[in-house]
Chains A and B, each alone.
Chain A
Amino acid sequence: MLEIKNLRIEATSYPPDGLPRDVVLVDDVSVSVAKGRVLGLIGESGAGKSTIGLSAMAYGRGGVRLTGGQVLLNGRDIRGLGPAGLRALRGREVTYVAQSAAAAFNPAQRLMEQVIETSLTHGLMGRAEAEARAVALFRKLGLPNPETFGDRYPHQVSGGQLQRAMTAMALCPKPDLVIFDEPTTALDVTTQIDVLAAIKDAIHDTGVAALYITHDLAVVAQVADDILVLRHGKKVEYGTVAEIITAPKEAYTQALVSVRSIDHVEKGAAPSVLSVQQITARYRGTSFDVLKNVTIDLPAGQTLAVVGESGSGKSTLARVITGLLPPARGKIVFGGRTLSPDLPSRSKDDLRELQMIYQMADVAMNPRQTVGTIIGRPLEFYFGLRGEAKRKRVQELLDQIEMGKGYIDRYPAELSGGQKQRVCIARALAAKPKLIICDEVTSALDPLVADGILKLLLNLQAQEHVAYLFITHDLATVKAIADRIAVMYRGEVVRYGTKTDVLTPPFDDYTDLLLSSVPEMELGWLENVLAHRKMASAGN
């Protein structure tokens, strides 16, 4: 069906200083996908997996160019096709499922129009036939009310449903090949597993060939037949799923398989630094309690992981603790004193001792300031450090986050994703806080990079005796770092205690659902889990 031979892809890069130059994104990659087979492309960001996926449609994002090799689809090299030939190919022979369906649907058009659009424009079928096929696909993918689902606009359905609708859109024109580009990455774990199962069934039933792109080896192990491991645009390892999962040959693949190897022993009892007491909160102008009677306790120098799906109130809890959202009821005791509910009336020490690190390090830093200025700002504000003393302290902090010399005068744009997050950690640390709230700090990072950040956070905790309130939806992260865990569901803490207690059965239904939904690196895991579920996931 699809055969890629010695593919080479280049792009022109425009570094902040210096002349534009050509960089090689993908070099000498060869794969083939047969009818009814699924090939998984896996690697960290920048590995070239999406670029290779899109090359099967001869599409290059930005200035990306296919400069060498062949892309044979149904026996012909699509690199030679003109614009009209490509339009005939795209959306007909090959279709695409994007990572964020929420952004990939036109917000101004009903779903049905978008799902059947290619079937009509390519003249594949009449409107009635296309709509009937779309409804059949909606049903197959487990969407609610398949007959009327298409009448809705994208904003009227949930993220998990949109991702299925996108899959229906890709399958509607009866393509030969579908490219799935991280289709479940943006979803909650409990939703991901349903979408994954729906996609797997749909691929199987329609007999279509598929490229499945993801950074999560455990996910791809559930749907793919073969796996290609990529790094820096080059092939690392290529084999069947069983070969890659059970007997990886290359060191990089082994690292991917064994990622999250941190072995963290939970700490014993200690006096608490933060005590959240019966907090109930709602946003202004709404009548819905986002937090209901939340009570948690965080011992000094330890890590409390707050887990839950999107919408469970995790980030709202952080907003209440930081004072951005004064609660309707309840109080917060921090470092032995009761915090005032709103930010303006908190003392400078309150502010200093409670720092925050965010998910998107990119947007949490001023792009026009150097690393030295960014980290130096809290030193100046809280401790009045200036000049040489400030620079010396910034360098100490940089050493602590293992970035060493040479970074102090760089700009955020010159750093990698992991380095940016490290700078944010240093900035929080500069204030000598008692507590750092970490809001999904590793979610946007590749697994190996995220692992490095978690190890760093644990080291810093040992050195500085700082406590972390660690907000995340990722249970693997929780196991790696937490001393205590609070499981949140619809604004309530449904389970709270030490890590061992929370993760030891018997579970309540929700914790069971959450724990069992985390993909595991074993064949047949998906079917097994779905067969033993007690409760439907919230995303449906």
Chain B
Amino acid sequence: MHPILKLVVQRIALGLLLLLAVSVLIYAGTEALPGDVAQAILGQSATPEALANLRESLGLNQPGYIRYFHWLGGVLTGDFGKALTNGQDIGQAIAQRLGNTLFLAGCAAAISVPLAIGLGLVAARYNGRWPDKVISGITLSTISLPEFVAAYFVIYLLTQVFPIFQPVAMVFPGMSFWAKLNAVALPVIVLVLVVLAHMMRMTRAAILNVMQSAYIETAELKGLSPMRVIWKHALPNAVAPIISVVVLNLAYLVVGVVVVEVVFSYNALGQYLVDHVAKRDLPVVQAVGLIFAAVYIGLNILADVLAIVANPRLRHPK
């Protein structure tokens, strides 16, 4: 087998194993929470008989590991169960919100990743000079703002001072693509501001690190233009650390944006999770937790694989 294929298969197998371990943790963690689900559903005034009946029907009397395997079996066949609070099918509820989450994350990533890398290259090219200082200054100040402050500032600026966008990011099925884009513009701007600095700084640092190499001196002594030196000789050797930071930020865009979702009333997974944590709706918490873990693990596998593929020593063995 080609060594790369072997590594990729290994990484994926490890990822699946990790996901299984995470599922145990999530399940055990939510189970260990204090409180009684039946009590939570029926309220303080429920009779002991009613509580016992509900526990029976929810299967709460069975031992934890049996319920875990029951739950896991459902998850593997695509059945996340029903929400305790309103009886809705969790799979369906998640599917729609996951689409919204990915749409928002995708838009933010499509802008922020090329922008961050581009700015990082420019900052490295003018290392220590004014373009570097301006880029670093601006991106570091945007990352230093708490998300909600950045969000309110953007709302104030782009709906009040310059009324261009809607303050509320309402999306619903059947909206056209452009209408959706218009709706998510503000949260996308906020997310871009939040994730830009990290990726930009890492790109800059990785490039500057490579710029110390002897082959960069060779390139300079070839009389190449500074941008060609960076683009052709530095960037291809700096991709591994850049990829890992980019992917870390992509994962954040999917699983960590609950504050932004709340501020803009954007109907996506984060908000769904927070709502149901408050209501102690364990099946929903477990399902969303598992999906977030899967996204995180999946993206990290992707980063690993891309870093492997980017390494010419592995792509072209001796």
Chain A residues within CB distance 8 Å of chain B: 54, 57, 59, 61, 86-92, 95-96, 98, 100, 103-109, 117-118, 121-122, 152-153, 155-156
Contact of A90 among B215, B221, B316 (CB under 8 A): B221
Question: Once bound together, how far apart are the Cα atoms of A117 and B219, in whole Å?
Answer: 9
Q: Does B217 contact A (CB under 8 A)?
A: yes
Q: Does B213 contact A (CB under 8 A)?
A: yes
Q: Which residues of B contact A106 (CB under 8 A)?
A: 215, 218-219, 232-233, 236-237
Known: A106-B233, A107-B237, A109-B236. A98 touches B214 (CB 8 A): yes
Q: Which residues of A contact B214 (CB under 8 A)?
A: 98, 100, 103-104
Q: Which residues of A contact B310 (CB under 8 A)?
A: 108
Question: Once bound together, how far apart are the Cα atoms of A100 and B224, in whole Å?
Answer: 20
Q: Does B313 contact A (CB under 8 A)?
A: yes
**Smallest CB-CB A-B distances: 6 pairs:** A90-B223, A91-B222, A91-B223, A103-B214, A108-B236, A87-B223
Question: Once bound together, how far apart are the Cα atoms of A153 and B312, in whole Å?
Answer: 8
Q: How far is the CB of A492 from chain B (nearest CB, A)?
A: 23
| A122–B215 CB distance below 8 A | no
| A121–B215 CB distance below 8 A | no
Q: How far is the CB of A324 from chain B (nearest CB, A)?
A: 25
Q: How far is the CB of A442 from chain B (nearest CB, A)?
A: 24
Q: Which residues of B contact A92 (CB under 8 A)?
A: 223
| B221–A96 CB distance below 8 A | yes
A61: nearest chain-B partner, CB-CB: B217
Q: Which residues of A contact B176 (CB under 8 A)?
A: none
Q: Which residues of A contact B228 (CB under 8 A)?
A: 121
Q: A95-B221, A108-B236 are in contact. List 18 more A-B contacts (CB 8 A).
A: A54-B221, A57-B221, A61-B217, A90-B220, A98-B217, A98-B218, A103-B213, A103-B215, A104-B217, A106-B218, A106-B232, A107-B312, A107-B313, A118-B222, A121-B222, A155-B316, A155-B318, A156-B318
| B232–A109 CB distance below 8 A | yes
A-B CB contact pairs (8 Å), 22 listed: A59-B221, A86-B223, A87-B223, A87-B225, A91-B222, A96-B218, A98-B217, A104-B215, A104-B218, A105-B215, A106-B215, A106-B218, A107-B312, A109-B236, A117-B232, A118-B222, A121-B222, A153-B313, A153-B316, A155-B313, A155-B318, A156-B318
Question: Once bound together, how far apart are the Cα atoms of A87 and B224, in whole Å?
Answer: 6
Question: Once bound together, how far apart are the Cα atoms of A117 and B217, in whole Å?
Answer: 14
Q: Which residues of A contact B221 (CB under 8 A)?
A: 54, 57, 59, 90-91, 95-96
Q: How far is the CB of B214 from chain A (nearest CB, A)?
A: 4
Q: How far is the CB of B72 from chain A (nearest CB, A)?
A: 36
| B218–A59 CB distance below 8 A | no
Within 8 A of A (CB), among B202-241: 213-215, 217-225, 228, 232-233, 236-237
Question: Once bound together, how far apart are the Cα atoms of A92 and B228, in whole Å?
Answer: 16
| B223–A118 CB distance below 8 A | yes
B219: nearest chain-A partner, CB-CB: A106
Question: Once bound together, how far apart are the Cα atoms of A88 and B215, in whole Å?
Answer: 19
Q: Which residues of B contact A118 (CB under 8 A)?
A: 222-224
Scoring B213, B224, B310 by chain A CB atoms within 10 A of each residue's CB, the highest score goes to B224
Q: Which residues of B contact A107 (CB under 8 A)?
A: 215, 237, 312-313
Q: Which residues of B contact A88 (CB under 8 A)?
A: 223
